[in-house]
Structure 1
Amino acid sequence: MQKFFILWVSILLILITGCSTKHYQFSEPKIITLKTPKLKFADTGYIRHDETSVEVELFTAGVAVEKISIDSLVCVSNGCMSEEAFVKEYLYPDYPADTMRNIVLGKDIFAGRGKEEMCDGRLFQFIRNDEMDIIYRRGKGEIYFKDRLNSLIIRINDLDTNQSLP
């Protein structure tokens, strides 16, 4: 009798909660290039986000190959970890914990340090010291992050934007 009760409760929970996936307010197809110590990717993808969560889904030849979900934890195919641990492992240990989230969303990094606005409306940040040499620009359908000292590149372009590589 107890087994049937557990079975019915399980079925009821599945029906109530379902196999739901998160629904984001914004979902945009992009051309994404990632060159980090653990991620090498250059193809199309989707960036989805709402007020608290961000998801980057990467495709190669139309097949989903990786998903990076940033919420209270950052989840990739290898498992979930804190944002700080993700940035240390996948980017560079001295970056702030919110660096990946802010790049994907096109927001200021490093609390806006070295920020300049160009006359065409694009925003630039230059951050240089002994451990990093970062240029970060965004605007006009492009997000471009490059750290020359640590060999990192993150580039996100709108699908309809035809821009040449720097």
Structure 2
Amino acid sequence: MDWDFLIDIFQQLLGGVPLTLQLSLLALVAGFILAVVIASAASSRYRLFRWIASAHIEIFRGTPLLVQVFLIYYGLGQIPGLRQSVLWPFLREPYWCAILALALNTSAYTAEIIRGAIQAVPASEIEAGRACGMSGLLLRRRVTWPIASIEQGQQGRCNSAVP
């Protein structure tokens, strides 16, 4: 085994760790923000918003991430109007295309998690909040979101008390 070669390759790989962490962090933050918007649209009372959210979720969960990266990096450059727009200085850079692809992919998966957690909130809890005079953002902030975060955290646990 050629240890010098392996050490050299390992050092080269370690040089990419900061960039990988930076891409991951930015994509996760942007993806979470977008996921909250998409999950809100998915549970909206307006059919158009629900349709747009479900289309986003189905497209980005139904295609491989590598295909999404290729389509964003190579495909968007084929649109002449986009090359003339303000977005082109960002979209021609692989760094920003990678963040966009990772954020869109992350947002689709995270939006489904958020939507499922919000739908798991018992209707009686929401009804009780409305009976107390809460509506809109106050109801979401004090009832729906705290219960949804607890429900989402308990989904991975086994409810069985058998030792």
Class of the TM-score when normalised by the shorter of the 2 chains: under 0.3
Bigger strand fraction: 1
Bigger helix fraction: 2
Greater radius of gyration (CA): 2
**Larger RCO (CA under 8 A, 6+ residues apart):** 2
Question: Normalising by structure 2, what TM-score?
Answer: 0.25
Question: Normalising by structure 1, what TM-score?
Answer: 0.25
